[in-house]
Amino acid sequence: MNNRHFLTRRNLRDLILVLSFGSAIFFDINDAAKCIAFGMLGTGCFIHYVSKGILIRNVVLCTEGIYCVVRHPYYLANFLIDWSFCLLSGNLFLLLSYPFLFYLVYGATIKSEEELLFTQHGDTFIRSVLMTPQVFPDINSSRNIKKLFEGFSASRVTRKEYSRITKFIAIGISLGFIHITTGNIILKLNRIRFSLIQGFDEFLLILLVLLLMVFYIAGSIVVRMSDQNRDVNQESRPS
Domain boundaries of the chain, sorted by first residue: 9-226
pLDDT band, residue 1 (cuts 50/70/90): very low
Q: Where are the alpha helices (DSSP H) in the chain?
A: 9-26, 31-54, 73-89, 92-121, 123-131, 139-142, 159-182, 185-191, 201-236
The string of pLDDT tens digits covering residues 222-234 is 555 555 555 555 5
7 phi/psi in degrees, rounded to 5: -110, 115
Higher pLDDT, 37 or 216: 37
Question: What pTM did the predictor assign?
Answer: 0.76
pLDDT band, residue 208 (cuts 50/70/90): low
22, 173 contact by CB (below 8 A): no
112 HSE (CA, 13 A, CB side): 6
pLDDT band, residue 205 (cuts 50/70/90): low
b/e burial code for range 213-224 (CB count within 10 A of at least 16 → b): beebeeebeeeb
Closest CA to 40 of 10, 78, 2: 78
- The pLDDT of residue 218: 57
Please state, rounded to an integer, the average pLDDT across all residues of the chain. 80
The span from the CA of 90 to the CA of 21, in Å, is 10
For the domain made up of 9-226, the CATH class stated in words is: mainly alpha
Distances (CA, A) of 84 to 62, 132, 207, 209, 223: 27, 25, 22, 18, 29
In the predicted model, what is the mean pLDDT of residues 45-56?
91
- The pLDDT of residue 141: 85
59 HSE (CA, 13 A, CB side): 4
Decide if pLDDT at 22 tops 80: yes
Decide if pLDDT at 212 tops 80: no
The conformation of residue 58, written as its DSSP 8-state character, comes to T
Angle at 190 between CA 188 and CA 193, to 5 degrees: 120
Higher pLDDT, 21 or 225: 21
Q: Say which range, 1-15, 108-122, 167-181, has the weakest mean pLDDT.
A: 1-15
